[in-house]
Chains A and B, each alone.
Chain A
């Protein structure tokens, strides 16, 4: 870990302004950033601790939705009564991720910003276009059981590891930010995470120094909320695939996948197939899938997971 100076910011605008300096980075929960700093995958020279910014409240919006402060801890978000009642999918996704200890520290914004768990990204002896642009991708042709099957590029086949982000995608969340110049903006979750393309190191829509202040959910849509995470180990493991869904009584609904792409994977057109069953949905969702030999099993697994989700929704 490189040396860094440390400050505690006292307002979002001040934090964003400070963070536009070269080498500066925000720290909130720290559960992914410090992990990466220890390996010098992240090498900030200045850390801006944003934990004092009073962004830790969950408020009802005038539209009847929820505004979740960027610093709301995963545990607190999952346990919030409104979330449990109206956005069960989000609670379920959060609780399927990490461990109790990590959820107590990890924040809502940090969860969206967590980086891939690709083991080649984590091993600085190996080429990785995400870690060191232009160096190559060791995962392609290497150990790729966990990797993306769709939306990947010849530069990167990493997945986004978040469970929460899958739920946020299904819930049509909006990411609220403040930029270094003090202006605020809202980014629809669909536009927040990027596919790797030729720039896998650019993972989201934020500009340097831009600070997430909240994530907003529209008013609840009812329906049955399901988050189905598939993994070898029964807990404390990243998804091989996961499916987050809201299914209505009439069989319509919304669905997104985790563990298959560089971002939560949702194809709105595929949702029209929901009444026709898992196979039809999976075919649409994964129409352009290009798995590796090691992760081709994810395609039938997605279909089977969707089938389980739809079966659960019917009960």
Chain B
């Protein structure tokens, strides 16, 4: 189905099932421990052996030699894979560093060997016996030092300029020129990367934990140099991804190579202390923001520059993107620079670009509002735009940022805030509130599904879409139920298998809208197949209560399907509506924090997000996406930092004790409001995404609240108590 004109009324608009806060259909499996994750498929192939990964002890250099003698002789060892004996391997399109390193070492904990043994305990012990001699090379590990050597990155969005930023900024009556930093951060999903690989002749089956089935099937084929038709990738349950499982990683490649070497199925999970340096992370940024405005608060110049680093051949963190679209202003510029760093591979983590970009931009807006002596909510409203500021002929398909801010301010009680910093106190706590705008684009991509109707009237949806905790199973079931006029319990959803039609996959908050649109398209086709078989006029037939009806004639879907059943497959494909209209999602985040008057410990007390993101397909699971993102925003703002050892080039705090993410005690009750919105320009579902929007802006809202509470403006994340120890009143 080609979607190239705005959606009109369609069966989804009935909203009998779509749009309802339905409990997740996979809930009973997940809450009873019966949903199988990647490492847990004990019964699919017999005789599974265990692989344990050996990582590089240096960040950059070469392996002079590897001695496997002792490891090979260890009890239970079946095979050891290294770059020397693995044969020629390609590199996937989505990987920067090799997943099996050697002899060249590109980063710390780059995988250099897999030890396969009869048991996990034997594999782990034998892995310690692999002896490696390294020749260490000089590397670059410090972004601040490498900043001056940064260049315009290949392939990324080039620098942008509209009007005359330099003159407008120079002549602005009120101006801000400030630099902000965000640290390297880890996905830290709860399920470690894990895979089970089994060969049957030249056919490979891989049970893994992966957000993007088709990308990863293709990359695995490319890595191995075999046709992708020979690979089946299965990933129906994923214990969190956040962008860290978009790609094939070392667990998968090494399980596959280990299975080939050991001539047995092999299972591999990455050890937690190994994950932070072996896999990808959100790269640190240095961001300079300049804003010039008139005295009455109209932005006349806005500039955003960002520096980040990555391995040679890698890409930048696109932290300036939202600044091109979020606020009005005639004179604007953005620039992105990339330095070479020999740290582990930087890559996508939830809301790549916007998450760190808004952490900086939305502090800058707060600072500017203060300079102008304008309420920060009003300052943002004053500079709203309904068109793409770089191309005023191009409107936003929907843009309710102002409504988000106004409704949020009302619900949060914003007007009662203490405008002067450090003045509101409750017992040992200094209280402050902060606001920030949230922004994330709506990305459209082809997504296919297959829908079957059987003789019991059951609708089965098959698509390689994944559910990484987002609720895909449930919203896809709701979509199919609504389209086919059956109750939810008459829908079976099968996901995450490369034998199913290729979907959008899970990433960039594009999963919900695109994958359900693909299911919509397939259901439209299935409806046609049903009506055609019954000789009904398809345009007038009604699908409801498990029947298809035309006038006085009604036939049950079960009967219509017959013994043979009916199958339809289709994909949603998009025209150029995304070019004609800017499609984005918007939010306003409000946060209240307490800062301990003595120790400067920071605790979040209240959080509210108001979101405008098209039709909300399931308010319950969508709300969960947003509160989860808000929680990740608390971590990003207040504690998460992969500490770089700038001498040895690695993330030092590489486990879940050292890399602190929020715990229960850090998170108060969270409120989420979804504005009533449909966006017919987005898709037939009229939906957009929320999973990343919920993170965008939260960090800055927290930082602004800390400023409001304490009077100390911290521009270097995370905002930790040590950065507040000077400047607060004595106790």
Contacts and interface: CB of A to CB of B under 8 A. Distances in A.
Interface of A: 1-3, 38-40, 117, 119-120, 122-123, 125-126, 138, 141-143, 145, 228, 230-238, 240, 297, 300-301, 304-305, 307-308, 311
B666 A233 contact: yes
Nearest to A241: B599
A141 B647 contact: yes
Given A235-B663, A240-B721, A305 B652 contact: no
Contact of A232 (B124, B654, B720, B725): B720
A91 B121 CA distance: 37
Contacts of A39: 273
B26 interface: no
A234 B57 CA distance: 33
B660 interface: yes
A119 B641 CA distance: 14
Contact of B125 (A2, A234, A305): A2
B125 A3 contact: yes
Given A142-B647, A235-B664, A119 B731 contact: no
A123 B654 contact: yes
A235 B665 CA distance: 6
Interface of B: 57-58, 75, 121, 124-125, 128, 273, 428, 596, 598-601, 603, 638-639, 643-645, 647-648, 652-655, 657-658, 660, 662-666, 718, 720-722, 725-726, 731
A143 B643 contact: yes
Given A232-B638, A240-B721, 7 more contacts: A1-B125, A119-B655, A123-B654, A126-B648, A230-B599, A237-B663, A308-B596
A126 B59 CA distance: 12
A39 B648 CA distance: 20
Interface of A is mostly: loop
Ordered nearest first, which 7 A-B pairs have the shortest CB separation? Answer: A297-B722, A308-B598, A234-B665, A235-B665, A125-B57, A143-B652, A143-B643
A236 B599 contact: no
A308 B598 CA distance: 6
Contacts of A305: 598-599
Given A119-B653, A143-B643, A233 B660 contact: yes
B727 to A, nearest CB: 12
B57, B75, B662, B721, most chain A CB atoms within 10 A: B721
Contacts of B657: 117, 238
Contact of B663 (A38, A143, A236, A304): A236
Given A119-B652, A125-B57, A233 B599 contact: no
Nearest to B639: A232
B721 A119 contact: no
A122 B655 contact: yes
Contacts of B639: 232-233
A1, A120, A234, most chain B CB atoms within 10 A: A234
A112 B124 CA distance: 29
Contacts of B720: 232
B75, B645, B662, most chain A CB atoms within 10 A: B645
Nearest to B122: A3
A183 B675 CA distance: 75
A301 B722 contact: yes
Contact of A142 (B124, B599, B652, B721): B652
A45 to B, nearest CB: 12
Contacts of A236: 663, 665
A311 B731 contact: yes
B442 to A, nearest CB: 34
A300 B652 contact: no
Contacts of B664: 235
29 contacts: A1-B124, A3-B75, A38-B124, A39-B273, A119-B653, A119-B655, A120-B652, A122-B655, A125-B57, A143-B644, A143-B645, A145-B722, A230-B601, A230-B721, A232-B639, A232-B720, A232-B721, A233-B639, A233-B666, A235-B663, A235-B664, A235-B665, A240-B721, A297-B725, A300-B726, A301-B722, A304-B600, A308-B428, A308-B598
B599 to A, nearest CB: 5
B603 A234 contact: yes
Given A235-B664, A308-B598, A143 B273 contact: no
Given A2-B125, A143-B653, A300 B725 contact: yes
Given A125-B57, A236-B663, A237-B660, A145 B643 contact: yes
A314 to B, nearest CB: 13
Given A122-B655, A304-B731, A311 B598 contact: yes
Nearest to B722: A297
Contact of A233 (B124, B648, B662, B725): B662
Contacts of B75: 3
Contacts of B638: 232
Contact of A301 (B648, B653, B721): B721
B654 A308 contact: no
A1 B124 CA distance: 7
Given A120-B652, A143-B653, A238-B657, A301 B665 contact: no
Nearest to B660: A233
A40 B596 CA distance: 40
B106 to A, nearest CB: 16
B638, B643, B722, B725, most chain A CB atoms within 10 A: B722
Contacts of A228: 599
A50 B663 CA distance: 33
Given A119-B654, A234-B666, A1 B645 contact: no
Contact of A122 (B58, B273, B428, B643): B273
Contacts of B653: 119, 143
A167 to B, nearest CB: 19
Nearest to A2: B125
B598 A304 contact: yes
A33 B599 CA distance: 33
Contacts of B666: 233-235
A308 B652 contact: no
Nearest to A305: B599
B212 to A, nearest CB: 31
B599 A232 contact: no
B654 A234 contact: no
B673 to A, nearest CB: 26
B488 to A, nearest CB: 37
A238 B601 CA distance: 14
Contact of A231 (B58, B121, B601): B601
B57, B647, B657, B718, most chain A CB atoms within 10 A: B657
A18 to B, nearest CB: 23
B316 to A, nearest CB: 25
Contacts of A240: 721
Contacts of A238: 657
A40 B128 contact: yes
B663 A233 contact: yes
A114 B664 CA distance: 25
A208 to B, nearest CB: 24
A119 B657 CA distance: 9
A138 B598 contact: no
A231 B598 CA distance: 13
A40 to B, nearest CB: 5
Contacts of B601: 230-232
Nearest to A43: B128
Contact of B660 (A232, A304, A307): A232
Nearest to B638: A232
A297 B599 CA distance: 11
Contacts of B428: 308
B687 to A, nearest CB: 35
Nearest to B724: A297
A64 B647 CA distance: 55
A308 B599 contact: yes
B124, B598, B603, most chain A CB atoms within 10 A: B598
Contacts of A117: 657-658
B89 to A, nearest CB: 25
Contacts of A233: 639, 660, 662-663, 665-666
Contacts of A141: 647
A305 B601 CA distance: 11
